[in-house]
Amino acid sequence: MSEELIIEHCSPTLAGIKAGSMFSVRVTEDTDINNEVRELNKILRGKGLRVIPLKKTDKYALIYLYRPDHLKKDLNDPQALSILKKMGYEPQNPESCIVKLVRHLKSDEAFPHEIGLFLGYPPSDVECFMKHPCQGVKCCGCWKAFSEPEKAQEMFIRFRKCTEAYHEMNKNGKSLAQLAVMTG
């Protein structure tokens, strides 16, 4: 996995302003995703980050980079708790929620749209998207915003600026380990 790919898709999470990010990696016969994930975890674990493969096929791997402390806080939101409980999750344990999400990704035909909660999207927007994905959308960016479009637009801009800054810092010699911040 290239640093550039991770920076492109995960800068806000690396910067500590978003709970989690996902990205896909092409898999070839030379690819050892599990080893690459282990190496990334060695680099990022000390900064409060975790990396796991959510789904693997013979053509791609869906990778999740997240901050367990941020995820726990996000999943404790009352609306997020309600959504997850309705979907059969045990939201008091974020790690078991991730395990269940992985199961959904592997076995369900439909994509588990509750995944937005694992990516730091507002629970109200996740819930609206799950009910009516095309009705009432106020603006689009990293996610479809159904409520608080001004706040969503501010976050989209913040995420974009973060990604641009991280690309620039990486281009100027900062490694992924140096770009990942420790959050408290």
d(CA 79, CA 82) in angstroms, rounded, equals: 5
User: pLDDT (tens digit, 9 = 90+) per residue, 12-29?
Assistant: 999 999 999 999 999 887
d(CA 94, CA 98) in angstroms, rounded, equals: 6
User: pLDDT (tens digit, 9 = 90+) per residue, 41-88?
Assistant: 999 999 999 999 999 988 999 999 999 999 999 999 999 999 999 998
